[in-house]
Chain A
Amino acid sequence: MSASGDLLHVVEPDGLSPRRARFGRAAMWGAGAILLLVAGAQTMQALGHADLGFTTWRPTLYAWLLWMTAFCWAQVLIRGEAGKRLLFVLPAAFFVGSMVVFPLIFGLGIAFSDWNLSSPDGRRFNGFDNIAQMWGDPFYWNALGNMVWYVLAILVEYVIAFGLALLLNAEIRARRFFRVAFLLPLMLSPVAVSWMIGKSMLEPRFGPVARLGRELGWENPSFFGSPEIARLTIMVMDAWTFIPFMMIMLLAGLQAIPKELQEAARVDGAGGWRGFREITFPLMIPVSITAILIRIIFKLKLADVIINVTAGGPGGATDSVTSFIFREYRDRSNVGYGTMLAMVYLVLIVVAMTLLMKAADRWMRPKG
């Protein structure tokens, strides 16, 4: 889709004077020099060569902000119209660059060190010790295994979401009421949901669901007792909040299918199930894949409910990677090891998602 040239052609009337360009370069390099100077001075102090009275690294941050501003301004001064065009993308690019790329590189440094924030020793480079520790950490592998289960649960969510989208797309009255009602779970914060459902409705003595279970003949309803049931409960709670998300994407897909197609199918004698299987569903495959991929991305971040309802228990059966690392930090202040676990997780995710997207791409491409 990306065109080689601009979609919007702009004639550039501005004669740029060399003085203006020189001034732009001066501003850019000047701000850069200030940044280097400040950062250098702070590094000197951090290494213990000189005490310049800095308490935090904020001066470097301000110098960095100054340099980014000067850089954007200089683009306009030097390049004129083309610089103004750059200004659309530059702020976001700088923002993401300083918020993601830099912390990631910084994080790599932390990942290869033994660093306990609560101990006074500070940071100590320890090479691949963290990886060795991770290799022998059954709880981390267990958490990764759980993530596979959690991601597989998406298939069930998808079926339910598809059913609901079909229902909402049918000719019904009070459509707006149902749409709002179905959407509401998505609005609620996972933390509130943890209490509302996990801690009160599923409470074994007074919770309404436990009561219902007892009415139906379940002797001692306990939703977090055995590992399997606890994992299932977490899946159900997460599904409850996120089914609306898939449902709305699928509904948008259903509404984009021209009505004529369905009518033509009906005229040809394909009603109900056959019409769905041979007309509706094939047309919905691209939307379904998008919805499932996005849902997987969100599922991989699953943590809030687990942290607040089970804290990973019983025996790590419900742990997700995120909640495990969260506890690793909160209980042991172990920044180095936690970051290494997170980095490994990131690599696994990127590999898995790339393979998935490749597979989806191949599957979606029309055969022929």
Chain B
Amino acid sequence: MSGQIFHDGEADLAHRAKWWTGRALIYGALALWAFICLFPIFWTLTTSFKTAPDVMKGNILPWWDFRPAWLGWRSLGLSPETIFEESTVREEFLKRFLNSLVTSVSASVLAVILGSLAAYGLSRFAYRFGPMRNGDISFFFLSQLILPPVVLALPFLVLYRELGMLDTRIGLILLYTLTVLPIVIWIMRDQFAAIPTELEEAALMDGLSIWGAFATIILPIALPGMVAALILSLVLTWNEYFFAALLTSTHANTLPVMVASQTGSQGISWWSMAALSAASIAPLILVGILLERFIIRGMAAGAVK
């Protein structure tokens, strides 16, 4: 074995250097933005374990420049020593949490059912409602996206008052369904359009009805898209604040309303506010980490035709 025969030329070495600076720049930018995205979450989590002096001194790293304490979580009744004791704050929190869960899950499921059916129908059959044809019907559904919530808020406030539906979960569920329905239809329309009609034709030949073919052949294929639409709806409805703030007061108010009402009061301490915020965003952070694939799929569905 003699020495190396082929050597990199001068030009290639310059190329290497350029490549390395390019890499460094890319990873630098990535790291910077990841820091910008993650720091507020990190800050909220750590602040919930701080005590007053830590907050004043602006300590940031736990165990490095402050010793974590359960102060914030104790005020929520969720720290290790208070978790088995009675706590009105915790009950309040769990009640709001349950409200958020019930409203967002029911609204998303309802929207996915209604939206998938409509999107399937529009992708397969020609309808005529008076002067409206398929294109117009689709546009009618999708145009709801433009409608700002504030336009509906006050009429609904009056309507719900007359119907005795103020401060009820069902009232919120209906409105939330309405807000996410266009998004679901938008996503599902693309999903169904991508499924060849030959599949149903074969099923119809074998004696299935339209609804039978839809339920047994098409639904399983479109399921990933439906899950994507469901998760996107869940995120949007879980975070909804505007309608909840206007239409609920004591029974049906959701987690964002509780968080917002706490921020307003001056006396509340940072650590308990941080614990409350952290607890209210935790479920969605989990969803984001575990189901990121579906969220991205849902949002990408409409982007590329």
| A residues in contact (CB < 8 Å) with B | 1-11, 55-58, 61, 81, 84-89, 91-93, 95-96, 99-100, 103-104, 106-107, 110, 117, 163-164, 167, 170, 172, 176-197, 199-201, 206, 208, 211, 240, 244-245, 248-253, 256, 286-287, 290-291, 294, 297, 300-301, 303-304, 307-308, 321-322, 325-326, 329-330, 335, 338-339, 342-343, 345-346, 349-350, 353
Identify which of B6-14, B71-79, B122-130, B219-227 touches chain A.
B122-130
Q: In the bound complex, do residue A91 and residue B151 qualify as a contact, i.e. CB atoms below 8 Å apart?
A: no
- Checking A10, A177, A188, A339 against B154 with a beta-carbon cut-off of 8 angstroms, the contacting residue is A339
A91 touches B114 (CB 8 A): yes
- B181's contact among A4, A96, A188, A189, by CB below 8 Å, is which? A96
A170 touches B26 (CB 8 A): yes
The 10 lowest CB-CB distance pairs between A and B, nearest first, are: A88-B121, A252-B300, A189-B239, A92-B118, A107-B155, A56-B164, A249-B303, A187-B288, A191-B256, A187-B284
B277 with A196: CB separation less than 8 A: yes
Stretch with Cβ within 8 A of A (4 or more), from B62-70, B85-93, B197-205: B197-205
| B37 interface residue per 8 A CB criterion | yes
- Residues from chain B with a CB closer than 8 A to the CB of A200 are 43-44, 47, 270, 273-274
**Residues B56 and A197 in contact, CB atoms below 8 Å apart:** no
Given contacts A181-B34, A190-B239, A201-B43, 10 further A-B contacts (CB under 8 A): A81-B210, A85-B121, A88-B125, A89-B122, A107-B155, A176-B292, A181-B37, A200-B47, A307-B260, A342-B148
Which of A11, A95, A211, A346 is within 8 Å of B178, CB to CB?
Answer: A95
Residues on A with beta carbons closer than 8 Å to the beta carbon of B150: 301, 303, 321-322, 325-326, 342, 345
Q: Is there a chain A Cβ closer than 8 Å to B83's Cβ?
A: no
Assess whether A100 is in contact with B178, with CB atoms less than 8 Å apart: yes
Residues of A within 8 A of B47 (CB): 200
**CA A189 to CA B36, docked complex, whole Å:** 17
- Taking a contact as CB atoms closer than 8 A, the residue among B177, B270, B303 that contacts A253 in the complex is B303
Contact B158 A322 (CB under 8 A): no
Contacts of B209 in A (CB 8 A): 84
A303-B242 in contact (CB<8A): yes
Q: Which residue of B lies closest to A173 (CB)?
A: B27
Chain B residues with CB under 8 A of A190: 239, 241, 256
A211's nearest neighbour on chain B, judged by CB, is B58
CB distance from B236 to the nearest CB of A (A): 10
- Residue B102 lies at the interface, judged by CB distance under 8 Å to chain A: no
Instruction: List 5 A-B pairs, Cβ < 8 Å.
Output: A104-B151, A172-B27, A181-B34, A188-B41, A322-B150
Given known pairs A170-B26, A191-B241, the reply for A179 and B151 (CB within 8 Å) is no
B49 close to chain A: CB less than 8 A: no
Which residues of B pack against A, CB within 8 Å?
26-27, 29-30, 33-34, 36-38, 40-41, 43-44, 47, 55-56, 58, 60, 114-115, 117-118, 120-127, 129, 133-135, 137-138, 140-141, 144-159, 161-164, 174-175, 177-178, 181, 185, 197, 200-201, 204, 209-211, 214, 235, 238-239, 241-242, 245-246, 255-257, 259-260, 263, 270, 273-274, 277, 280-281, 284-285, 287-289, 292, 295-296, 299-300, 302-305
Q: Is the beta-carbon distance between B305 and A286 smaller than 8 angstroms? A: yes
Q: Using Cβ atoms and an 8 Å threshold, which residues of chain B touch A187?
A: 235, 281, 284-285, 287-288
Number of A-B contacts (CB under 8 A): 314
What's the dominant secondary structure at chain A's contact region?
A: helix
The answer to whether A184 touches B285, judged by C-beta atoms less than 8 angstroms apart, is: yes
Are B126 and A5 touching (Cβ within 8 A)? Answer: yes
How many whole Å from A230's CB to the nearest CB in chain B? 17
Closest approach, in angstroms, between the C-beta of A196 and any C-beta of chain B? Answer: 5
Q: Are A57 and B163 in contact (CB under 8 A)?
A: yes
Docked pose: A163 CA to B32 CA in angstroms: 13
Please tell me if the beta carbons of A181 and B38 are within 8 angstroms of each other in the complex: yes
* A99:B174 contact, CB within 8 angstroms: yes
Closest-CB distance, B65 to chain A (whole angstroms) = 13
| With A89-B118, A191-B256, A196-B44: A178-B284 Cβ-Cβ less than 8 Å | no
Whether A184 lies near B38 (C-beta < 8 A) is yes
A361 vs B44: C-alpha distance when bound (angstroms): 44
Bound CA–CA A56/B164 (angstroms):
6
A322 and B277 contact, Cβ closer than 8 Å, known pairs A195-B259, A335-B158: no
Query: Which chain B residues lie closer than 8 Å to A88 at the CB level?
Result: 117-118, 120-122, 124-125, 214
With contact pairs A57-B162, A342-B154 given, residues A184 and B41 touching in the complex (Cβ less than 8 Å): yes
The minimal Cβ–Cβ distance linking B269 to chain A, given in whole angstroms, is 11
Q: Which residues of B contact A185 (CB under 8 A)?
A: 37, 40
Chain A residues, CB < 8 A from B146: 297, 300, 349-350, 353
Contact A322–B149 (Cβ < 8 Å):
yes
Q: Which residues of B contact A252 (CB under 8 A)?
A: 296, 299-300, 303-304
Q: Whole-angstrom distance between the alpha carbons of A246 and B302 in the complex?
A: 12
What residues of B have a CB within 8 angstroms of the CB of A9 in the complex? Answer: 201
Chain A residues contacting B260 (CB-CB under 8 Å) are: 191, 194, 307-308
A248 to B284, CA, bound (A): 18
Contacts of A301 in B (CB 8 A): 148-150, 242
A99–B238 Cα distance when bound, in Å, is: 20
- Asked whether A100 and B40 contact (CB < 8 A) given A6-B125, A195-B273, A206-B56, the answer is no
Per the bound structure, the CA–CA distance linking A178 and B260 in Å amounts to 30
Are A110 and B158 closer than 8 Å at their CB atoms?
A: yes
Contacts of A193 in B (CB 8 A): 40
Query: Which of B47, B56, B135 gathers most chain A CB within 10 Å?
Result: B47
Evaluate contact between A192 and B124: CB separation under 8 angstroms: no
Contacts of B256 in A (CB 8 A): 189-192, 304
Q: Which partner residue on chain B sits nearest A322 by CB separation?
A: B150
The residue on B at minimum CB distance from A321 is B150
